Structure 1
Amino acid sequence: MKVLVKEKIAQAGIDKLKAAGFKVDVKIGMSADELLDAIGEYDALIVRSATQVTGEVINRADNLKVVGRAGIGVDNVNLEAATKRGIIVANAPQSNIVSAAEHTVALMLACARNIAQASASVKAGKWERSKFQGVEVYEKVLGIIGLGRIGTLVAQRAIGLGMKVTGYDPYVSKERFAQLGIGRAATIEDVLKVADFLTVHLPKTKETIGMFGDREFAIMKDGVRLVNTARGGIYQIDPLVGALKSGKVAAVGIDVFDAEPPVGNPLLEFEQTVCTPHLGASTVEAQDRAGTQIADQVIAGLKGEFVSNAVNIPLISVEAMEAVKPFLSLAEKLGKLFNKLAEEGIHSLDIEYVGPISKYDTKLLTIAVLKGVFDGVVEEQVNYVNAPIFAEERGIEVNESKKQSSQDYLNVIRVRGRDGGNDVMVAGTLVGKKNQDRFVNIYEFDIDMVPSKYMAFFRYEDTPGMIGKVGTILGKYNINIANMQVGRRKIGGEALMGLNVDIPIPDNVIEEIKSSAGIAFAKFMVL
């Protein structure tokens, strides 16, 4: 078999491929047209981020069995086209986490001791000891927003420096925080109030972009030092510039920018900023690790073995796959719904399969639920391989159970768990010849809802006029209700109202509904 290495990887990875008996062609300078002409003769393709593995490339790849991305993401690979052709796509998601964590600590120390500025001063022929007086990190509070793999590694290294670490991550259990020796904050604001140093390890989502603005800077301690090696745009530029000018923020260490290179970025003008050109993964070890890890994945794929970092490979038999495939979307949506309804760190998940579906291997559906739970809330792209790892890292116990028959529906998937002190339960099924997704039970209330992008749920005492109150307030703000469902257990008891709406419901509108209609629980979500 032949392997095409289109972009530079570590020689150790190439040596592994050759040792496994494969013919390896390293053609780094190959153009896009040359790739199209040549790809048909190769069994595996290894790329990094520059090569676009388009649908046209996939369609020309008559012999291709594996595409290996020597790095974390697979944005440059057409996954849909590859999956349709039965081509395995794998990456190396853990190759740079140590490097990213160490770079975070390096920027933190550089901010504390003015290392970059002092170095530039000495090289300019100056000797300004008093100007660059710094602070110790010992016994200072490091605030961490996002305790995924990188955030956890940063915390461990900071504890080794004698720092006090407090963090916020609603998807990490109290037990996991205690195990790591990290103080668990109930809100992001609680972290901002106490942090002497602050680092953020979050994915790039609609919620995280620009999440730190004037309000958040006002909450922070005077003289706080910020580090960002996660994603550009998490800090709003104008408020950050203002905080630097006022001294609210003493220093910033930044490795990622909204636009790269950051030409004209005002942060470059400040002496108290330490800026690096996206170096989080740029170490010899990380590059070597990416090369050797992807070589292992390609070797496994070509040999027909389990590909642990595959992002699109079925993990069950063909028969089971045919049975569970229609439920994958539903399972993921149930995971997302559970995630949105959970208000504290998730402790456990119990996933029950009821009906004929229970006769099959359902582990892929369980992974789909986990994918939904963590999608958009961890710093890495979630797939069917790493979703269980995220649960394990956060100390979340995951259990499967099965029941042969259901009273109400042919098949039902129930997801139940604890989010601290409360039980959360959601359930769904498929209906009709087109296997349409339905949410059929939420918080033990029977309901029949089509999942949609924008949804809202309200719990309240079932009294006349509640539907009208909610509808009137939404109408006042020109928010159209596409669908409404109400579930209750008895007349006059507690009821659950579920809405599908056309546009997002702002927080102030949710608060107005709660206060005006006397609703105790109200939540808007984007699925």
Structure 2
Amino acid sequence: MPTSPLAPVLRPVVVVAEPLHPVAEVELGAGVEVRHVDGTDPAALRAAMGDAQALLVRSGTVVDAALLAAAPRLRVVARAGTGLRNIDVRACTQAGVMVVTAPTANLVSAAELTVGLMIAAARRIAPAHASLRAGRWERQDFVGTELAGRTLGILGLGRVGVLVAQRMAAFGMHVVAQDPFVQAGRAAQLGVRLVDLDTLLRTSDVISVHLPRTPETLGLIGERELGLVKPSLVLVNAARGGIVDEAALHRALLEGRVAAAGLDSFAEEPATGNPLLALDNVVATPHLGASTEQALEKAGRAVARSVRQALSGELVPDAVNVHGGVIAEEVRPLIGLTERLGRVFTGLAGGSAVSFDVEVRGEVVDQDVRVLELAALKGALSGVVLDESVSYVNVSLLAAERGTAVRLLTDPVSEDHRTLVTLRGTLADATTVEVSGTMVGTSERQRLVGLDGVEIDLDLADHLAFLRHPDRPGTVGTLGQVLGAAGVNIAGMQVVRLDGEVLVALAVDSPVPEPVLATLAAALDASWARTVSLG
């Protein structure tokens, strides 16, 4: 008689959908049943998932709602790498499936490939190699440029950016960086001078991109930015495609406004038809940043360890959505709330905190709530550490590296809410930012209930906007008119009067673009305006 998909199993079933380093299976141990399947065959994959509790993938297997529906026992999806474009994280979260990555596995490999692309582009190695293989000896046609004594501009001084800076300093390069979330003291320790984006563009001989692909960074280097650079510039992007406007880069390379480019990432992949690949002053690789024996081994070992932790109910350091661990039931709903409050804090602050308090009030403090300190830091630093690698393992270290002193404060008394979480940070200029949140109702909805000491009550939606402006008639109409013209729907709003001004807090259905926020601020004479996206 066939076994029901929901019948008990003797050992957890782990489906391996793509080739991984052999160490992964060794690390999983004998306590699991490993099942291999071709993840690029959706039908075969779904057929293998009926009793699976864990799924290991790389970048070729699509994990979506349809697959999750065929996997009722699934508890964890592990991606042996860092990118998540093939995994529907929201669907996994809604299904209660943890998603984990291997965020530190490819740091050195990515940095070394960046250096390789930099040298190859500067010295014209690829076209010289092609010429020589074609039987020509054309030394005069491939005169390159030295890197020693030149200025390297790094966009995003995260951990890969730091590794590149250290390596190129050994080449005798002067290093500048643009990263609003790194404090000047930390940069100085690395021998890096912080500058604004336009200064970096104008002064750099080589620019290397180390940013995540987000709505804010998409198309960051476009026609205007490429119009500011030296014509001798070498531009390298081994981070994420789409940060550099490829059409604008193509024109600049053709017209001699940029000398050369080294590319490992593209807006659309596979990029075999990309017109940039036809240019002799472009050296390109097919997204090989993590493709070294060492990185593959580290990734395989890391995700196998995370799967073991997830299946045993431990806290999984590299979870990106659902946080596991032996945590009290009363504390678990607060983890997501606290992480989102951390992201709101950073969005409002616009930079790192020098000191950071995580205050938890209510009966919940009878339980161990130390995980909330990590959740707050993880949320706050997710918009600060720009190489997509913030995890429970490294978040305390990353905070320390940025000179952020952290305290967890608890109080069993909460006068207005059953449980209240408040994040309070002091910035380098001595200003403070404070946000508070709670859970309400049987559905445990996340609510934002405080901002800089002002009581508010707003759903902690995926997209938020905040303004302070003079208190005068007609402002609500202006808000609706400007946002409506931009196609942004208001889902919730609160207006709080403050001594001649009002604080407006908005929950909206889609991100508010920065130009729209600027238009809105100007129309309302706003003294302060911020937008935050959590989705």
Give the shorter-chain TM-score range: 0.7 to 0.9
Q: How far did residue 253 of structure 1 move?
A: 0.4
Deviation at 1:44, TM superposition (A): 5.7
- Shift of the 308–431 alpha-carbon distance from structure 1 to 2, 3 Å rule, reads closer
What is the deviation of 1:197? 0.8
For 2:273 and 2:68, how far apart are their aligned partners in 1? 39
What SS class does the counterpart of residue 277 from structure 1 fall into? coil
Aligned to 1:323: 330
1:253 maps to: 262
Corresponding residue for residue 127 of structure 1? 137
Distance 1:40 1:130 in 2: 63
* Residue in 2 that maps onto 1:10: 21
**1:523 aligned partner, one-letter code:** R
* Larger displacement relative to structure 2 (391-400 or 473-482): 473-482
- Contact between 2:346 and 2:383, CA under 8 Å: does it hold in 1? no
| Structure 1: distance between partners of 2:58 and 2:220 | 30
Distance 1:221 1:419, change over 3 A: farther
Which residue pairs with 1:95 in the alignment? 105
Are 2:527 and 1:520 aligned?
yes
Aligned to 1:172: 182
Residue aligned with 1:153, SS: helix
Give yes or no for contact 2:467–2:530 (8 Å, CA) kept in 1.
yes
Are 1:396 and 2:404 counterparts?
A: yes
Query: Does 171-180 or 117-126 show the bigger shift?
Result: 171-180
CA change 1:76–1:381 in 2 (3 A) is farther
Q: Which residue of 1 aligns with 2:388?
A: 380
Paired with 1:260 and 1:48, the residues of 2 have a C-alpha distance of 15
The CA deviation at 1:518 is 3.6
Amino acid at match of 1:475: Q
Unpaired runs of 5+ residues, structure 1, are none
Task: Name the SS for the 1:249 alignment partner.
Answer: coil
- Code of the residue aligned with 2:298 in structure 1: it is R
Change (3 A) 1:476 1:316: closer
> What CA deviation, in whole Å up to 9, does each residue of 1:310-330 have, x standing for no partner?
456645545x2x212333443
* Matched residue, 1:193: 202
Q: Residues 476 and 173 from structure 1, CA distance in 2 versus in 1: closer, same or farther, beyond 3 angstroms?
A: closer
1:153 matches 2:160 = no
Deviation (angstroms), 1:497: 2.9
What is the distance in 2 between the residues matched to 1:151 and 1:26? 38
RMSD over equivalenced CA pairs, Å: 3.5
Distance in structure 1 (CA, Å) of the matches to 2:322 and 2:355: 26
CA distance in 1, matches of 2:468, 2:35: 61
1:163 aligns with 2:170: no
In structure 2, the CA distance between the partners of 1:37 and 1:506, relative to structure 1 (3 Å rule), is: closer
1:257-313 deviation digits (Å, cap 9, x = unpaired): 122232432212221111111111111222222233334444555677665434566
Q: For 2:504 and 2:92, locate their aligned partners in 1 and report how far apart those are by CA, in whole Å.
A: 41
Q: Select the residue among 489, 492, 496 that pairs with 1:487.
A: 496
Q: Shift of the alpha carbon at 1:509?
A: 4.8
Aligned to 1:216: 225
Structure 1 residue 58: deviation in Å? 6.3
**For 1:291, what is the secondary structure of its paired residue?**
helix
Quote the Cα distance in structure 1 between the aligned partners of 2:297 and 2:496. 56
CA distance in 2, matches of 1:497, 1:442: 11
Matched, 1:356 2:326: no
Question: Is 2:313–2:325's contact at 8 Å kept on the other side of the alignment?
Answer: no
Output one character per residue of 1:226-271: Cα deviation in whole Å (capped at 9) or x when no partner.
0011111211122212211232211100111122232432212221
What corresponds to 1:458 in structure 2?
467
- Partner Cα separation in structure 2 for residue 343 and residue 279 of structure 1: 33
Q: 2:81 and 2:166 mapped to 1: Cα distance? A: 24
Residues 122-163 of structure 1 show CA distances to partners (whole Å, capped at 9, x for unaligned) of 222222222211111112111111122212211111122221
Aligned match for 1:498, one of 499, 505, 519? 505
After TM superposition, the score normalised by the length of structure 2 is 0.84
Q: Is the 8 A contact 1:147 1:167 kept in 2?
A: yes
Structure 2 alignment gaps of length 5 or more: 1-10
| Cα separation, 2, equivalents of 1:178 and 1:103 | 25
Cα contact 2:439–2:446 (8 A) shared by 1: yes
Residue 115 of structure 2 corresponds to residue 105 of structure 1: yes
Matches of 1:162 and 1:114, distance apart in 2 = 20
Shift, 1:456, TM fit: 2.8
Counterpart CA distance in 2 for 1:199 and 1:501 is: 35
Q: Percent identity?
A: 41
Question: 1:334 is aligned with what amino acid?
Answer: L
Question: C-alpha distance in 2, partners of 1:57/1:478?
Answer: 37
Aligned residues: 517
- Give the one of 342, 346, 350 matched to 2:349: 342
Give the match for residue 428 of structure 2: 420
Change (3 A) 1:111 1:344: same
- TM-score under structure 1 normalisation? 0.85
Matched residue type, 1:267: L
Three-state SS of the structure 2 residue aligned to 1:223 is coil
User: 1:6-53, CA deviations, whole angstroms, 9 ceiling, x for partnerless residues?
Assistant: 432223444455xx5457757466865555555567776544333456
Residue 329 to residue 8, structure 1, CA distance change in 2 (3 Å): closer
Residue by residue over 1:194-235, the C-alpha shift from the partner in whole angstroms, topping out at 9 and shown as x without a partner, is: 221111112222222212212111222332110011111211
